[in-house]
Amino acid sequence: MGVKIETEKLARVRLNFFSCHRSDWLLRLLDLYGGAAELLKRPAAELAAEGGVLPETARTLLAQSRAADPEKELLAAEKAGAGVLTVLDEAYPELLRKIYDPPLVLYVLGELKPLPAAAIVGTRKATPYGLRTAARLARELSASGVAVASGLARGIDTAAHQAAVGAGGVTWAALGAGLGCIYPEENKKLAAKIVETGGALVSEFPMNKGPLPANFPRRNRIISGLSLATVVVEGGFESGALITARFALDQGREVLAVPGPADSPASRGPNFYIKNGACLAENADDIIACFPPESLFGLKLRGAETVKSPAAAALKGLSPDALEAYRAIAAEEGGLNADELTARLAWQVQRAAAALFELEISSLLVSRGGRYCRAV
Amino acid sequence: MLSKLNTLCLKGIDGREVLAEVYIASGLPAYSVVGLPDAAVKEAKDRVVAAVRNSGFDFPSRRITVNLAPAEIRKAGTHFDLPIALGVIAASGKLGKKPPARFGHAYFIGELALDGALRPVAGVLPMLLALKGRDIIAVVPAGNSAEAAVSGVNCLSASSLKEVVSWLAGQGELAACAAPAATRVPAGGGNDLSEVKGQPFAKRALEIAAAGFHNIILVGPPGAGKSMLARRFGALLPPMTFDESLETTKLYSVNGLVAAGRLIGERPFREPHHTISDAALIGGGSSPRPGEVSLAHNGVLFLDEFPEFSRPAIEALREPLEAWKVTVSRVKESVAYPARFLLVAAMNPCPCGYLGHPTRECACSPLQVHKYRARISGPILDRIDLQVQLSAVKYADWEALPGGEASAAVAGRVLKAIEIQRKRFRGGAKANAFMAGADLRRHCALPEGASAVLETAMNKLGFSARSLDKILKISRTIADLEGAAGIGREHVIEAVQYRMLDKSAAAAAGF
């Protein structure tokens, strides 16, 4: 029996080398033949007829699968320290198993702890507002004991992962490439940190598959599939974040949206969802309130009074100069740079430098390209 | 018949004495130059023949051999025309049976025109300085008269070959070289710092750079005023001393760049384009000549669009930034040129230029930004103490912005800070920027509160140990500008602001 399972797992890893945009017909065929090992023995014409696809597609499926070397692949995964799961494994995440088209093979680097999770997703071109809100939600979720799932992309994803790691929480990243090709490049350190702090990187793609554009919409179903609820922080209508939200709806999970300014292009997606009945996410409690009751066990709710003004607590204990500088910066939607701050307050350079230093080391400001924005 | 007379040549930026020997023998008409001449010296023949004949003398149709001794030094340049022509005239017996009395202690330099007129040449000042303090007479072209006068050597100027011959024959006199009246050019090319509106942090950083001889890099979007500020930087530096001025002028003279023969009295400001080759930047050529770094000696080297310079050009800056000189080695020879300049580099914050712009969207990915900045290698960035961000100014704000202080006021503070450093390092050219090891520990001791600031900066802002040294040096200069004996907490806090590239590198890493 054990040998048979092992053979079937290898066959599935082999089958997973076939790249397709939709895998529902494949899953149907797997059911029909009772496994990948059996499926791969069938002629292309039969697969095409039973699966309802073009003969060409079936031929490609067989050709790509046969060209693969699953033993070598498993060795590569082992070398990278990654686990390889199929639905046959008990460790395969329960929530993901329940979706319509669970990944044939799931590569996991790190540990997928049995925690309730919420996905925080959003555009790569985020505004300072989006970034700090994503970070705050991730921090609050971490404090409540909820895992934060996202996609390791630039912008909102990165902010959410970073904040969760920084708050000592658990965070999972579903990648649009094999675990051997972390993308984007600059998030390699973050990826390592996620694994280090008890989180996990997951991918359905073979270890060395590159970050092809076609991979990303598919991996979004894993982000929503791992989570009880998906929160859209920012994103225009063309944003991948909305794809994730659609997957969440298809999978029967909750979708929440962070409201944004009515005229902000980055907030059109979430505002649209709110208009159409999505829950509004202001803080972690709003998100947890959407979880099914059985998953609330063990979670810490924060209560209304602590979430009223997230900045107020952090501003206590600042020097008067720093407080004045913070107010001037917070009043500007796009933030201020050091020169603008100096001019606005009519201060000497030295005085502005001291105030900025104090704010920066208290993590109340973030700077990008020399422009300071409020971080809380 | 044989004749011998003195001339000079350049080795690097130093003059060397050369003996020009001309021998005319019977035989088939021929002309050869020996003694490692370069192409310009070999070409002298055609000019010399025409000039001698057009001056009313006979050019003998015999076998002529010219030897430039010592034979092991490479001879380059057109200034051998005059000595060779005089040698031919003397050897053919036109100046009498015996060589003229004036040959013995006279040195001749000059390029000939075909009609016998004397043309100015490059490198007169450094060549003549080799004769300083000697009881001799140098004869130079009239066009180099002012430059020659600066050398302090007894010089005569002539405008044609004929004039020189009649002076040698004792039939005429030559005019002595006189220095022109000194005209002081206002520093900074007449531009004042107060003309640049806004940018208080960048201006302050330039003040610190001038005071501590710190190299500086200005990071800012297009149109922020990087070049405007850099051009006004020279006015913040103290005036040149006579020795500095002489050194710089020598380098200019070698390249034939001494305008109107004046000593260079204003600190040079060199602004090579980013397409410059590494050889042009640090010096080179088959017979080496000083490059831009040497022309910026005792002044400012401004490299705009710094990451756009070729990698070899940027890396070539390592030696001059470290050793204040460049050694140019070629197959034929190897020479060292001084290059003690203050580097002012400028760059955009990202390839598109609009990272951190208040109104325009930056189109670069973090990786692109990282790659752009990585074009400046660590070792080079390591030699640049101050990194400061300039901001784009919105037009609406621009009208209302204050101009700030005038250059003279800032220069006053800078001078005081330099005086303090002179006392600290007991003379010499040392400045805060060059402190290392023991000096750093001795002069940059931190009070209790300040070391806590550094620790926080390291932990929270991700500064490396290397940037901490820079912060210490900058803090020392800030304290000197205030006249404070010790570094205070506030000085360190301000210094942290001038390491923006370190800070953003830490931010890009994410933690």
> A175 and A301: one domain?
yes
Contact A349 B357 (CB under 8 A): no
Q: Is residue A79 situated within a structural domain?
A: no
Please give the Cα distance from A161 to A149 (Å, whole number): 8
Tokens of B347: 């760059």
Q: Residue B509 above 50 pLDDT?
A: no
Domain termination residue (choose one: A10, A45, A68): A68
> A166 and A276: one domain?
yes
pLDDT range class, residue B450, cuts 50, 70, 90: confident
> A329 and A296: one domain?
no
Q: Is residue A95 situated within a structural domain?
A: no
Cβ partners under 8 Å of residue A343, min gap 6: B198, B200, B397, B401, B402
Question: Which range of residues forms the domain containing residue A2?
Answer: 1-68
Q: Which chain B residues are within 8 Å of A357, Cβ to Cβ?
A: 453, 457, 493, 496-497
Token look-up 């040079």 returns B268
Whether B503 and B461 have beta carbons less than 8 Å apart is answered as yes
List residues of chain A with CB under 8 Å from any CB of chain B: 154, 158, 162, 166, 184-187, 189-190, 193, 334, 337-340, 342-343, 349-350, 353-354, 356-357, 360-361, 363, 366-371
A39: region left, alpha or beta (phi > 0 left; psi from -120 to 50 alpha): alpha
Whether A82 and A208 have beta carbons less than 8 Å apart is answered as no
Contact A357 B496 (CB under 8 A): yes
Q: Is residue A97 situated within a structural domain?
A: no
Domains of chain B: 2-176 (3.30.230.10), 187-408 (3.40.50.300), 435-511 (1.10.8)
Q: Which of A339, A350, A362, A365 to mutate to test the interface with B (most CBs of B within 10 A)?
A: A339
Token look-up 């600190």 returns B267
Q: Pick from B324, B318, B323: which is nearest to B340 by CA? A: B324
> A325 and A177: one domain?
no
Q: Which chain B residues are within 8 Å of A184, Cβ to Cβ?
A: 365-367
Please give the Cα distance from B483 to B413 (Å, whole number): 9
Please give the Cα distance from B184 to B193 (Å, whole number): 19
Cβ–Cβ contacts within 10 Å for residue B437, how many?
8
Domain termination residue (choose one: A259, A282, A307): A307
pLDDT, residue B480, reads 94
Give the pLDDT mean for A91-99. Answer: 94
Q: Which chain B residues are within 8 Å of A368, Cβ to Cβ?
A: 355-356, 504, 507
Residue percentage of chain B with pLDDT more than 70: 94
Among partner residues B357, B367, B461, which is closest to A185 by beta-carbon distance?
Answer: B367
Give the pLDDT mean for A120-127. Answer: 92
Please give the Cα distance from B499 to B387 (Å, whole number): 5
Q: Pick from B180, B136, B140: which is nearest to B159 by CA? A: B140
Please give the Cα distance from B124 to B261 (Å, whole number): 10
ipTM: 0.76
pLDDT digits (tens, 9 = 90+) for B22-66: 999 998 999 999 998 888 888 889 999 999 999 999 999 999 999
Half-sphere exposure of B242 (CA within 13 A, CB side): 4
> A62 and A133: one domain?
no
> A169 and A20: one domain?
no
Q: Residue B511 above 50 pLDDT?
A: no
pLDDT digits (tens, 9 = 90+) for B319-339: 999 888 999 888 777 889 999
Whether B198 and B401 have beta carbons less than 8 Å apart is answered as yes
> A356 and A266: one domain?
no
Q: What is the CATH number of the domain that holds A176?
A: 3.40.50.450
pLDDT range class, residue B467, cuts 50, 70, 90: confident
List residues of chain B with CB under 8 Å from any CB of chain A: 198-202, 204, 219, 349-350, 355-358, 362, 365-367, 370, 389-391, 397, 401-402, 453, 456-457, 460-461, 490, 493-494, 496-497, 500, 503-504, 507-511
Q: Pick from A38, A167, A28, A16: which is nearest to A106 by CA? A: A16
Cα torsion A310, A313, A317, A323: sign = positive
Higher-pLDDT residue of A105 and B398 is A105
Instruction: Tell me what the pLDDT averaged over chain A comes to.
Output: 91
Query: ∠ CA(A228), CA(A233), CA(A237), 5° rounding?
Result: 105
Please give the Cα distance from A260 to A268 (Å, whole number): 8
Q: Which residues pair with B386 in a beta bridge?
A: B216
> A254 and A215: one domain?
yes
Tokens of B447: 């009070």
Please give the Cα distance from A153 to A150 (Å, whole number): 8
| Smallest Cα distance from A86 to chain B, Å | 33
Q: Residue A1 above 70 pLDDT?
A: no
Q: What is the CATH number of the domain that holds A346?
A: 1.10.10.10
The structural domain count of chain A equals 3
Residue percentage of chain A with pLDDT more than 90: 72
Contact A184 B199 (CB under 8 A): no
| Smallest Cα distance from B499 to chain A, Å | 11
Q: What is the pTM of this model?
A: 0.79
Q: Which chain A residues are within 8 Å of B219, Cβ to Cβ?
A: 370
Q: Which chain B residues are within 8 Å of A354, Cβ to Cβ?
A: 490, 493-494
Q: Residue A284 above 90 pLDDT?
A: yes
Residue percentage of chain A with pLDDT more than 70: 97
Mapping DSSP to helix (H, G, I), strand (E, B) and coil, where does residue A243 land? helix
Give the pLDDT mean for A291-311. Answer: 74
| Smallest Cα distance from A341 to chain B, Å | 10
Q: Pick from B262, B205, B201: which is nearest to B393 by CA? A: B201
Domain termination residue (choose one: A307, A330, A365): A307
Whether B254 and B121 have beta carbons less than 8 Å apart is answered as no
> A281 and A364: one domain?
no
Q: Is residue A224 situated within a structural domain?
A: yes
Residues in chain B, overall count: 511
Q: Is residue A76 situated within a structural domain?
A: no
Query: ∠ CA(A105), CA(A110), CA(A115), 5° rounding?
Result: 90
pLDDT range class, residue B457, cuts 50, 70, 90: confident
Q: Is residue A249 situated within a structural domain?
A: yes
Cβ partners under 8 Å of residue B65, min gap 6: B22, B23, B25, B32, B34
Q: Residue B258 above 80 pLDDT?
A: no
Whether B5 and B103 have beta carbons less than 8 Å apart is answered as yes
Q: Which helix (H) or strand (E) holds B312?
A: helix B311-316
Q: Is residue A127 situated within a structural domain?
A: yes
pLDDT, residue B334, reads 84
Q: Is residue A92 situated within a structural domain?
A: no
Instruction: Tell me what the pLDDT averaged over chain B comes to.
Output: 87
Please give the Cα distance from B281 to B317 (Å, whole number): 8
> A19 and A168: one domain?
no
pLDDT digits (tens, 9 = 90+) for B118-153: 999 988 988 999 998 889 999 999 988 888 888 889
| Smallest Cα distance from B387 to chain A, Å | 11
Half-sphere exposure of B70 (CA within 13 A, CB side): 6
> A331 and A276: one domain?
no
Cβ partners under 8 Å of residue B39, min gap 6: none
Please give the Cα distance from A191 to A199 (Å, whole number): 9
| Phi, psi values for residue A121, rounded to 5° | -130, 160
> A3 and A125: one domain?
no
Cβ partners under 8 Å of residue A98, min gap 6: A225, A251
Sheet holding B216-219, edge to edge: B269-270, B300-303, B342-347, B216-219, B386-389
Mapping DSSP to helix (H, G, I), strand (E, B) and coil, where does residue B51 land? helix
pLDDT, residue B510, reads 43
Query: ∠ CA(A333), CA(A334), CA(A338), 5° rounding?
Result: 120
pLDDT, residue A301, reads 80
Contact A186 B367 (CB under 8 A): yes
| Phi, psi values for residue B502, rounded to 5° | -60, -45
pLDDT digits (tens, 9 = 90+) for B149-186: 888 899 999 999 999 999 988 888 899 988 766 555 55
Higher-pLDDT residue of B253 and B275 is B275
Q: Residue A306 above 50 pLDDT?
A: yes
